[in-house]
Structure 1
Amino acid sequence: MSDRGTGQTPVSGETLLFLTDDQLRRGIEAMFFAYRGFTADPDRILQEYSYGRAHHRAVHFIKRSPGTTVNNLLNILGVTKQSLNRVLRALIEDGLVESRVGKQDRRERHLYLTEAGQELEKELSEAQRGRMRAAYRDAGPEAVAGFRQVLEQIMDPEMRRHFQTFKEGS
Structure 2
Amino acid sequence: MNASLNTPLPKLKNVSSGFTLIELIVTIAVLAIIVSIAAPNISTQLANQRVKLTASVIETALKEAKAESIIRRQNVTVAYNNTANTITLQASGANISSYDISASSTVSITPTTVTAVIFQPNKLIAGDDDISYSICDSGSSNETLGQVRVNKIANIDTTNTGSC
TM > 0.5 between the two? no
Larger radius of gyration: 2
Higher helix fraction (1 or 2) = 1
Structure 2-normalised TM-score? 0.21
